[in-house]
Structure 1
Amino acid sequence: MGEIRTTTTRAARPGKAVSRRTRMAAPATGAPVHRAPRPTSTPTPGQRLRYRFDNALARGAGVVIGWLALLTLAIFVVAGLAFWAFGLDGVNGEGPVPNPAEGIWQAMLRVVDAGTFAGDSSWPMRLLSFVVTLAGIFIAGSLIGLIANAVDQRIEGLRKGRSDVLESGHTVVLGWSPRIAAIVSELVVANASEKHAAVVVLGVEDKTVMEDTLSAAVGDTGTTRLVCRSGSPAKVADLEMVNLLGARSVIVMSAGNGDADAIRAVLAIKTLDPDFTGPRVVAEISDPTYADSLAALTDGRVVTVNSDHVIAEITAQSCRQSGLSQVLRDLIDFDGDEIYFAPFDELTGGTYAEALTAFDTSAVLGLARADGSILVNPPATTVLEDGDQVIAVAEDDSTFRCTGARSWPVPVPALPQDEVQLPKRLLIVGWSLLGAKVVREFDQFAVPGTVVDVVVDPSLVDPGDVRIEGLQHTDVRVHPTSAGPEELAALVRDEAYDQGIVLSYREAVEAADGDARTLLTLLALRRAWPAGGERAVRIVAEVLERDDVELVRAGGVDDWIVSDEVTSLMLAQLSERTELAQVFVELFDPEGARLSFGPAQRYVGSDPVPFGAVVAAGAARGQSVLGYRVGATGAVRLNPGKSEVVSLAAADSVLVVESRAQLAGGAR
């Protein structure tokens, strides 16, 4: 019988639920199963009230404050009408309440001041006053507590950086990285002449952390307001919070996940500004493929900066000639002279050679055509057309003024023909992804047979990873060693080097540790290559943190490259004037025009001459002259006045912009 019960089901009776075993077996027959609805009970009024109260609390403190305020007001009104209707005495037995308004006032006094009912003499007044005061203690007290809590929440929200930004015409920096301090410092300099400038930083870090970091690194911001907000640069709501569409320019940092975060931020900007016709957008992108894709998909409206390429180019050029890194830094920061664009109708129809001498306080370096193309150091016979702009180095846009083409006598040079001695033996200590880029850039102007010795610490970098393909003039040899003082001394004792480069292990160690290694390596190299001695060798060093520049200079370096600072300067510069992007591309392109120092006696003799004559001598050689370098001190004078008389010695050199063919020696 027990077995039969477990396999047999009884027919469902009317009003009875089908057994669980029957419901489970029903699908096997293919018949649909209809589950009986669960019985529900009607909620009580108290449950409904509690449900509505819970929903009100979930909507925020503002709703609860509103309901409690209405309830408190209702207590005032009901109690005040009762005081008046029953003719009860007022405060301290002053007689019956004369009207409803006075009754409401009396009720409010009992809620605000609990001791008011102590003067009531009749029991009806005492009881009613007690009820009103007790209600006030609970309800009005809750109201005050909620208001105080709402204020605290608002203050906490402000501390977290989640309030809307009402700035306009400001610069927005998306993403947080160690380079932001340098960017903000440059923007502060750029905004020095503006009264109401603002820089807004949006990052995932805590607002107070960002503010404290920038305050310590930047210091006095002058006329620039610095606003920090916590949020994601890839979220449209957070971009609206910083009023991105009302900004003048946007700088997208490669932070966190690198290029991925930068691309997501650009796409978020595109959601708000589909055609990128609003603020100027400059993005830091390391991968050239991503950079090209962004430029193509945005029709060039998003300007990208490849930090590794810029740093590698500056490092390679610094190896070629001393002082070039200083010039390049001066051109991409806001201190001193800068690059400006401006149209000059009076020069239309004239040649580029005439434009070179038409500005007494500005050094011309190229032309911007009406169609948007950029010509850096075009041929001297190039004719300026309608809509063309002159590109020049000037102290300020107010000093970029045409003084008229002037004919300067071309001096007789002391060295009509010569060659620049390029380094043939290069020592690189340290390695990173930047190292391969530096060697490739160096190979662009190296002479055949050039040898590059790379010293790497095998505990930090696998020597097998030091592979550089596509070199035409350079042979690379790898030396696995810890690069201690003894190892470096033995290496440089047996080899005669022309240049030395110290790179940081940026992917393997922290910035502070990388700079510490750089300092120790510099001391070891300077001990083997004493400055001013017979074996003196120029050393170029990469510095990760700009606070370590003074220490590196004390270590005897000739030129230094602050990696984060170079990128930051370019991002800040392009955020103010995106048209400079094509100029920088031309200057940092291996096949484009380049800055170079030529021996002064190639342009002048031994007699003092106006600097305008030096410019004319450069124009005769197809070069744009920007300044000169004093050989005795190494100081570079950028953009001297054309009327200024200079006396250049044999050890001095002239700073020019020249073409690739000239750089290779084809137009010496």
Structure 2
Amino acid sequence: MPPLQRTSSDSNPAASVDISGRRESAGCVPARSSGPAQTGSLVDLVVLHAPSLWLGLNLALSLRYPQQGRAASGLCIKTGLPQAILLLNQTKPVWDGQVKLYTALLTRNILTKLVSVVLLSLPFIVIGGFLYKQASGSSWKEAFFRSYVVLQNVPGADATVVPNDRAALVLHSIFQLGLLTFAVVLGVVCSDISAAVESIQSGNYAVVESGHTVILNWNKLTIPVLRQMAVARAEQQVGAFKGPVVVLADMDKADMDAAVAKNLQGCKLEVLTRSGRPHSIADLEKAAAGRARIIVMLHPEDEEGAAERKVAAMTGIEALGGGAKAGQNLLIQSGPESTEGDALLATATQGSLPRHMKLGLIEMKDQERMDRLISQCAVQPGLGKVYSQILLQTHTSAEFYLKDVFPSLLGKSYAEARISFDDAVLCGLLDTKTGQGQLNPSDDCLLETHHRLVFLSSTADVKPSKQAMNKARARASLPVIRYPSAPHAASQHSPEMPKKDIVVIGWDVDQTVEGLVNGLGDFAPPGSTVTIVSPDEPDDLPSECGNCCCRHFEGSVASRQVLLKAGVADADAVILRMPLHSLADNDADAQVVASLIQLQDLAVESGRTTPLHVVAPVRHPRTIELINYITSHSHKAAGNSRKDFGAVKALTANQRGTKGREGRQGVVMDVDVLLPDELLSGLLTQVSVQPELLSVMNDLFDAQGAEIYLRHPSRYDLSTNSNQPVTFSEVSEVARQHQETAVGYVLQDGTVICAPSANQQQVLQAGDQIIALAEQA
């Protein structure tokens, strides 16, 4: 019985030495398991499957020699099976290596997973084929083929057609094992498909876009900016936000999607949100930032390390190829306070990015800029409506546009250029050499190729009108309007600019008063007074600033007696300066509404004969509807108790009459309702499309540049009692005699008309005002 002798000889010392040597060789695998487990080479797989092959070999020998009787079977059991079990126990690290190997392979892509499953089934195919060969006596080719088709459940494979019972037992065992193999393959495929579907639903896949818009970070301006972009897209402005808008922020995608769905209902703007870190190159690539046409980088809500993260994001955009394509705009919103981080950001902007990148660094300093706007609105009632018309994107509003100098105007004076347009108001120039913009320049300035024209228009399609140019030449020597030569200084002391008593209600001790106080000092008439009512006195409140003297009145802003003692009832203007930034939107707006109700009652009781002007910043646009409702209905009870005062009425800046004009008799309170977030987002949106507008906007808000003023017609010696209509071109000419640029009207019913047609006629009334760009009040 030579075969049996050879089988039993496997247990002799020499054979065991050979086996132990193989075991030790296999046992060395775990010591360097990180290598094979990661590479997964064919040699490693054969070594790791050696115990399985050894066990199968012993079982095959038992099946091959059944005719030897009980002794042979017992010998197989005593030698092959125990030795295989001993080998399995002694080679546990080998099995651990197998687990590590397949774990590593199953973390790869789906193709690698399928290949690993096939390799996992390979030893079972070999063992099954070997056993079937011994049990059935068939050829090796047929045995291995039957083992493969049954194990893999190949269609058409039949495990019932067998030559004997032993072969049937082998095939059915292989079939049962094949169910497990099929389940593994099915699980791998389904797992990858589920992961892919989940990735699509969660938005974790990369955006495949080019020439789109990317917004980095999420703060209070994100939703307003998206609203402004939606309006600009609806108006089909040239080059405005083509493709989708991708928002990449370090917050949960579901939260971003919910906020977009809630606030942008009905907007035809495709918004894709991606959760990630804007300062990570991998996440920037997910948003396709390198291929975007417009990138708006908002200031992160987390102030710690904000500037450094923005610098990292800028570097990442550059690394992804940002700026390599002409016309790509990168717009950065700076933080609310001047910090060393802002200096780092400015340095990076000036030096690290490519020169051909269209980069505009907006030093927003949100609170400072809005404080200056609020200051102007407090001094000039109704100015908030004008800024809303110019900065906000609406279907009927006018906004700033930049155009190259038209060939027909090259070499012409600014005076000739400004009278060459019928449907737009030329209000400034941009010098492309210096990057500086100037509103309301001198008429003597000659237009050159390095100039760009700044228009205020309701349409981007601005062209010179031949008819306007012919009329301009015809009236060059004979002005249509003849007016007395009134010195400019005399107009400065017109009744529209008396000194102001301004009360600021509320203040957050964490915020500086510098922006608001400086703004009031610049824009208020000489001799004006500023009173700040708050529980604690601001640390940086000066006693005097510009044209104003300042004082603090300590007390609760909700106390009726405190407000009366502070002089609210007799004030010319009240600014509601609640700590909006530290409150939720609804809570902040609720405080503003409650204060307005209290101010209205105080104004009614005071018996004042002029309206109390209130500047009320709010967060949410829907709050305006509530304020309109309150101010238009709450006067009824007060009117019944004050018959001598007439019908008490409160007007907001957003109430515009459409039928005739209302007089101001009985108006107890005028409210300029401002939306700071919306105004700033409108500014961001306009500059993101036209980055050169940044210098023009800086000139508009800078105290040294030209600002917007509301002028009474008498300033320009225009009659408000003649009932004779005048054209806007005539009004523009008389405004230029005072070195000012007329850009529209504010009618006494609150209607704002910006950039009217040059030929549009208007009968001026006593309550009408002319919107003008001027460098001094």
Say yes or no: TM over 0.5.
Answer: yes
Distance 2:431 2:121 in 1: 73
User: Equivalent of 1:439, from 497, 508, 517?
Assistant: 517
Q: How does 1:155-554 map to 2 (within 5 A)?
A: 155-192=197-234, 193=236, 197-222=243-268, 224-258=269-303, 260-273=305-318, 277-278=323-324, 279-285=328-334, 286-289=336-339, 290-291=341-342, 294-299=345-350, 301-304=359-362, 305-335=364-394, 336-343=397-404, 344-371=406-433, 372-403=435-466, 405=469, 406-407=471-472, 409-413=479-483, 416=486, 417-418=490-491, 419=494, 420-432=496-508, 433=511, 435-456=513-534, 458=535, 462-463=536-537, 465=539, 467-468=541-542, 471-484=545-558, 486-487=560-561, 490-491=564-565, 496-506=570-580, 508-530=582-604, 534-554=609-629
**Does the 8 A contact of 1:608 with 1:647 survive in 2?**
yes
Normalising by structure 1, we get a TM-score of 0.82
Are residues 102 and 452 of structure 1, via their aligned partners in 2, closer, same or farther at CA, if it must alter by over 3 Å?
Answer: same
Are residues 609 and 440 of structure 1, via their aligned partners in 2, closer, same or farther at CA, if it must alter by over 3 Å?
Answer: same
**Does the 8 A contact of 1:170 with 1:249 survive in 2?**
yes
Partner of 1:638: 754
Deviations 1:68-124 (A, max 9, x none): 0444588679979999999999xxxxxx9998999699537736799x535767435
Distance 2:436 2:564 in 1: 52
Deviation at 1:56, TM superposition (A): 4.1
Deviations 1:264-289 (A, max 9, x none): 12332224417973532222212345
Which has the higher mean CA deviation after the structures are superposed, 323-332 or 59-68?
59-68
Distance 2:745 2:512 in 1: 30
Distance 1:468 1:113 in 2: 94
Alignment pair present for 1:51 and 2:63: no
Are residues 243 and 508 of structure 1, via their aligned partners in 2, closer, same or farther at CA, if it must alter by over 3 Å?
Answer: closer
Partner of 1:652: 768
Q: What one-letter code is carried by the residue in structure 1 that aligns with 2:743?
A: L
Partner of 1:602: 715
Distance 1:480 1:112 in 2: 89
Alignment pair present for 1:625 and 2:742: yes
Deviation at 1:159, TM superposition (A): 4.5
Deviation at 1:613, TM superposition (A): 1.4
Partner-residue secondary structure (3-state), 1:582: helix
Deviation at 1:188, TM superposition (A): 1.7
Deviation at 1:151, TM superposition (A): 2.6
Distance 1:182 1:480 in 2: 35
User: Equivalent of 2:169, from 107, 127, 134?
Assistant: 127
Deviations 1:287-320 (A, max 9, x none): 3455455334423934122211221121011112
Deviation at 1:513, TM superposition (A): 2.2
Deviation at 1:568, TM superposition (A): 2.0
Partner-residue secondary structure (3-state), 1:117: coil
**Does the 8 A contact of 2:307 with 2:342 survive in 1?**
no
- Largest Rg, 1 or 2: 2
Are residues 106 and 298 of structure 1, via their aligned partners in 2, closer, same or farther at CA, if it must alter by over 3 Å?
Answer: closer
Partner-residue secondary structure (3-state), 2:330: strand
Are residues 579 and 442 of structure 1, via their aligned partners in 2, closer, same or farther at CA, if it must alter by over 3 Å?
Answer: same
Deviation at 1:41, TM superposition (A): 6.8
Partner-residue secondary structure (3-state), 2:270: strand
User: Equivalent of 2:150, from 102, 107, 118?
Assistant: 107
**Does the 8 A contact of 1:358 with 1:402 survive in 2?**
yes
Deviation at 1:64, TM superposition (A): 3.5
Deviation at 1:506, TM superposition (A): 3.0
Distance 2:690 2:338 in 1: 22
Deviation at 1:584, TM superposition (A): 0.7
Aligned Cα root-mean-square deviation (Å)? 3.5
Matched positions, count: 609
Deviations 1:503-552 (A, max 9, x none): 11235543332221111111111111249961421110121333322223
Q: What one-letter code is carried by the residue in structure 1 that aligns with 2:378?
A: C
Partner-residue secondary structure (3-state), 2:530: strand
Are residues 470 and 476 of structure 1, via their aligned partners in 2, closer, same or farther at CA, if it must alter by over 3 Å?
Answer: closer
Gap runs ≥5 in structure 1: 1-39, 90-95, 664-668
Q: What one-letter code is carried by the residue in structure 2 that aligns with 1:294?
A: L
Deviations 1:13-38 (A, max 9, x none): xxxxxxxxxxxxxxxxxxxxxxxxxx
**Does the 8 A contact of 1:308 with 1:434 survive in 2?**
no
**Does the 8 A contact of 1:311 with 1:561 survive in 2?**
no
Are residues 228 and 195 of structure 1, via their aligned partners in 2, closer, same or farther at CA, if it must alter by over 3 Å?
Answer: closer
Q: What one-letter code is carried by the residue in structure 2 that aligns with 1:597?
A: L
Q: What one-letter code is carried by the residue in structure 1 that aligns with 2:299?
A: S
Which has the higher mean CA deviation after the structures are superposed, 65-74 or 199-208?
65-74
**Does the 8 A contact of 2:136 with 2:164 survive in 1?**
no
Distance 1:88 1:547 in 2: 87
Q: What one-letter code is carried by the residue in structure 1 that aligns with 2:216?
A: L
Partner-residue secondary structure (3-state), 1:545: coil
Partner-residue secondary structure (3-state), 1:51: helix
Distance 2:241 2:307 in 1: 31
**Does the 8 A contact of 2:746 with 2:768 survive in 1?**
yes
Alignment pair present for 1:149 and 2:186: no
**Does the 8 A contact of 2:422 with 2:757 survive in 1?**
yes
Distance 2:194 2:315 in 1: 36
Percent identity, aligned pairs only, is 22
**Does the 8 A contact of 1:452 with 1:475 survive in 2?**
yes
Distance 2:393 2:257 in 1: 23
Partner-residue secondary structure (3-state), 1:549: helix
Alignment pair present for 1:580 and 2:693: yes
Distance 2:137 2:241 in 1: 65
Are residues 221 and 536 of structure 1, via their aligned partners in 2, closer, same or farther at CA, if it must alter by over 3 Å?
Answer: closer
**Does the 8 A contact of 2:211 with 2:292 survive in 1?**
yes
Partner-residue secondary structure (3-state), 1:560: strand
Are residues 329 and 125 of structure 1, via their aligned partners in 2, closer, same or farther at CA, if it must alter by over 3 Å?
Answer: farther
Deviations 1:421-454 (A, max 9, x none): 1442101111132644112101112333321111
Partner of 2:67: none
Gap runs ≥5 in structure 2: 1-25, 31-47, 49-90, 352-358, 632-651, 653-670
Partner-residue secondary structure (3-state), 2:244: strand
Partner of 1:66: 115
